[in-house]
Structure 1
Amino acid sequence: MSMNRYDAIIVGSGPNGFAAAITLQRQGLATLLIEGDEQIGGGMRTKELTLPGFKHDVCSAIHPMAMASPFFNSLPLAAHGLEFVTPKYAAAHPLDNGDTAFLHNNLADTAAGLGVDGKRYKNLIKPVLEHWESLAKAIMGPLRFPEKPLNLAAFGLHALQPASWIANRFKTDQGAALWAGMAAHGIQPLSNWATSAIALVLSAVGNKYGWPVPIGGSQAIVNALLSYYRSLGGELQTGNWVDDIAALPSHTTLILDLTPKQLLGLKGLKFSPGYTRQLQQFRQGMGVFKIDWALSEKTPFKDVRCQQAATVHLGNTYAEIAANESASHLGKKVEKPFVLFTQQSAFDSQRAPVGKHTGWAYCHVPNGSPEDYTEEIEAQVERFAPGFRDTILARHTYSPAQLEAYNPNYVGGDINGGIMDVFQLYTRPTRSLTPYRTSLKNVYICSSSTPPGGGVHGMSGYHAAKTALKDHFDINPTL
């Protein structure tokens, strides 16, 4: 390894690691980004997991927050090769009774499709959509007094409620089911406080930007980030799993895209007893079980319009989804889990050989569960797309343990870096107004275990880097 002195070293090349590195490099600092794997990307990797020519997104696939993130919006990624395609529908939610609810790429069509629930949906989402730019800066970061407090207060009145409360306002199965699917992205019981927040954000972002698919796979996002980072003069090293900070080159600041579990296992970090206790008390959320398929054709949904949706939520009614998410949270294996399904090849011809397709899906499971959910996930797809099993050419599965082995940030298969309930929504991983700082003055944490949590948005990395810039270099960047 080069023994140059760096202003900052960043460990981990996921979206937050890159966001931290780019934020620092933009200010003229000398930075080194280190990745343990030979392939950069963290949760944004694309690989041939099944058969030659079938390109599968290993973790993240659809990117609702890519267009909505203030940080990503500040970057010239299109100039560095990144291109998105936006499916006709952001999300589809088929029901056993033959009805399907759709999250359209605009508010009016979504509301119109919900019939008598359209007005209720519009009243919930319109204020978030109209004030998204100011709200995004307020909610996608640490707790601070917002620029527009009245907008945030109006958002909070709904966002802090359990999703179950707002579901009771809907009169139709479609309205309640669509809400359940959005809220279930939070990977926790829908009766928990603040579970309405994720549903409000994903719905509004879908109505404003759609849920885009990166051409070439999620790897295309990180490739563009790398290209831009290098254009600024940033340095990258791969294939170096850091287990002792004493082995690192000389540096002023260290920013770690790691979870509390990894921080505690890293040699050379002598945290204070109080900080160490808080890291030890950090709570993980449910894990996921994931399947990738090589398929002979598009998935034969009963409602063919589902083929035009970026994501298809498979879980039937609100009541069924809520019951199964709660059971999984309590450590039980459920027969009909809530499944998130997408077929990127329907929108991006680069993903599979001509005439063939890819499929991608996961469900929420107890953290670290050793159970195989292949049958349960495929049965849920078959339930709404009879004949799906006949299209399977090959499959690849990831259990929670295998996901953690692939990316140590996914502790027990937890892709959100810790449960994002009301107690860990902003006070993550510690009870601090600036949770990116550790008890060591030159060491910071920028992973999804910090606000605003999981997702491909880069905001955790941006805020960690901004904190380090202010603390050590008297620089205060803004987006």
Structure 2
Amino acid sequence: MSSSHQSYDAIVVGSGPNGLAAAITLQREGLHVLLLEAKDTVGGGMRTAELTLPGYHHDVCSAVHPMGATSPFLRSLPLRDFGLEYLHPEVLAAHPFDDGTAAALYQSLDETAAGLGEDGESYRRLFEPLIESWPRIDTHVLGPMLKIPRHPVALAQFGLKSLQSGRQIAARFRTMGARGLWSGIVAHSMIPLESLTASAIGFVLTIAGHRGGWPIPKGGSQNIADALKKYFQSLGGVIQLNTTVTALANLPESKAVLFDTSPQQLLKICGDRLSPLYRWQLKRHRYGMGVFKVDWALSEPAPFAAVAARKAGTVHLGGTFEEVAYGERQVWRGQYPDKPFVLFAQQSVFDATRAPMGKHTGWAYCHVPNGATKDMTKSITDQVERFAPGFRDTILAEHTLNTAEIEAYNPNYIGGDINGGVVNIAQLFNRPILGLSPYRTSAKGIYICSASTPPGGGVHGMGGFYAATQALKDIF
């Protein structure tokens, strides 16, 4: 490796949102930091590419960024100065139904509640106190749980609500609209809606929406990565691309190494340095559902029957709460639903840079059993067509990724699991192990900071920030 004769204070392996966050946190403290990335661009899950036809720019993984807008760490950085611009769709998320109507999540709590009819008041009672108290508890909820909370009452209020299952929360609502809207948001958790921890993800995403929106980065998710990269370099940080790390011995000398990798890669790279107990714990880390993804080049926007769906940055396709819950339960059991829950986005409706003049992009995925390679293109397209009759006629080209291809693209996505491990009760806070600091490994100077650490998947950088803060405390 070209830098091997040089020494650094810290080395970060992997440049996803958490790797970049860790590198920035350490570099800001005046350390000399090297960031290593196996691919030819930084970004991990924040990459944009011409997957279908020339001029059509598709987000390869993450597309819409509620956590990017609400992350305490990312908000603290001057990313606008480095070219990051967020675009805010009028409707954050729409959930269409077969009768041509749709429930909608708006940034305004009033507007959302007003659209939910007789459930508007229940919705307001559920979310208003949490939206109000969020700034006092956000760093706690988005971090390791084994620490003394500064605002225990506000945190308990969040905990009592969020540790109910998605189904229990849905029981508060009477209308198909409110129940359906909630099911689509909770299904981001990639676990059955009956699971105890499913609601936690639903609450965080909903609160994030009401506080900061569900924005889309202009030009593509790659622009978040590029802004973070430029900021890191402006602080004096060093980046080396096309560098695959297979063993600790290959690295330059340093006092600390932080891995933005899955536990499996950590074991491969430095398993011999870790204690038997820690290795055993890492091997027990469980992965959840995978995803099958489709990107389309389109002649026009998807012709959704519901007006709200045409104005939405994110569209949840799955019908009623019961239907979404049934489909997710089937996937959890290793089966394939005929009508999978589909997450759909049309960034080009809000961002003209994504496609040639007058043309559009479509981005969608559904959940599948971990490691499954069945082609779900037809099932996903059928679900879009169901709520947007005539959608098929707008398709100019398509590109698909199954779980194996997604893992090949980003080795952190084991079996296609984009969340870095299942967010069940055992792994919501104790990822990848149960310990006072989930970022510290058993070996001095070695840390893990990926989505397999709290607070889990998403573009927020909090895992990287906390791991770097731990390293600063322990070593620097």
Same fold flag (TM > 0.5): yes
Asked if the contact 1:92/1:102 (under 8 Å) is kept, the reply is yes
What SS class does the counterpart of residue 419 from structure 2 fall into?
coil
**For 2:259 and 2:207, how far apart are their aligned partners in 1?**
31
Gaps of at least 5 residues in structure 2 are none
2:317 is matched with which residue?
314
Asked if the contact 1:128/1:201 (under 8 Å) is kept, the reply is no
> Offset of 1:433 from its aligned partner?
2.0
> Offset of 1:148 from its aligned partner?
0.6
1:477 is matched with which residue?
none
Q: Describe how 1:268-417 pairs up with structure 2 within 5 A.
A: 269-417=272-420
1:26 is matched with which residue?
28
Asked if the contact 1:13/1:34 (under 8 Å) is kept, the reply is yes
Asked if the contact 1:427/1:433 (under 8 Å) is kept, the reply is no
1:211 aligns with 2:214: yes
**For 2:70 and 2:434, how far apart are their aligned partners in 1?**
27
What SS class does the counterpart of residue 475 from structure 2 fall into?
helix
**For 2:229 and 2:270, how far apart are their aligned partners in 1?**
28
Q: Describe how 1:122-271 pairs up with structure 2 within 5 A.
A: 122-143=124-145, 144-267=147-270, 269-271=272-274
> Offset of 1:140 from its aligned partner?
0.4
Asked if the contact 1:89/1:210 (under 8 Å) is kept, the reply is no
Asked if the contact 1:140/1:452 (under 8 Å) is kept, the reply is yes
**What is the identity, as a one-letter code, of the residue corresponding to 1:73?**
R
What SS class does the counterpart of residue 367 from structure 2 fall into?
strand
Asked if the contact 1:187/1:285 (under 8 Å) is kept, the reply is yes
What SS class does the counterpart of residue 153 from structure 2 fall into?
helix
> Offset of 1:379 from its aligned partner?
0.2
**For 2:436 and 2:457, how far apart are their aligned partners in 1?**
19
1:468 is matched with which residue?
471
Q: Describe how 1:11-50 pairs up with structure 2 within 5 A.
A: 11-50=13-52
What SS class does the counterpart of residue 180 from structure 2 fall into?
helix
**For 1:235 and 1:89, how far apart are their aligned partners in 2?**
40
**For 2:254 and 2:207, how far apart are their aligned partners in 1?**
42
Asked if the contact 1:244/1:268 (under 8 Å) is kept, the reply is no
1:104 is matched with which residue?
106
> Offset of 1:261 from its aligned partner?
1.1
The partner residue of 1:421 within 414, 424, 428 is 424
TM-score of the superposed pair, with normalisation by structure 2: 0.98
What SS class does the counterpart of residue 120 from structure 1 fall into?
helix
The partner residue of 1:10 within 12, 18, 37 is 12
4+ aligned runs moved over 4 Å, structure 1? none
TM-score of the superposed pair, with normalisation by structure 1: 0.98
> Offset of 1:308 from its aligned partner?
1.2
1:120 is matched with which residue?
122
> Offset of 1:268 from its aligned partner?
6.5
> Offset of 1:210 from its aligned partner?
1.3
**What is the identity, as a one-letter code, of the residue corresponding to 1:154?**
Q
**For 1:226 and 1:309, how far apart are their aligned partners in 2?**
30
**For 2:272 and 2:124, how far apart are their aligned partners in 1?**
50
User: In percent, how many aligned pairs have the same letter?
Assistant: 56
CA deviation vs aligned residue, 1:205-262 (integer Å, no higher than 9, x gap): 1112111010010000010001100010000000011001101100000000011111
**For 1:412 and 1:167, how far apart are their aligned partners in 2?**
30
Name the Cα RMSD after superposition.
0.8
> Offset of 1:41 from its aligned partner?
0.6
> Offset of 1:265 from its aligned partner?
1.4
Moved more, 91-100 or 320-329: 91-100
> Offset of 1:382 from its aligned partner?
0.2
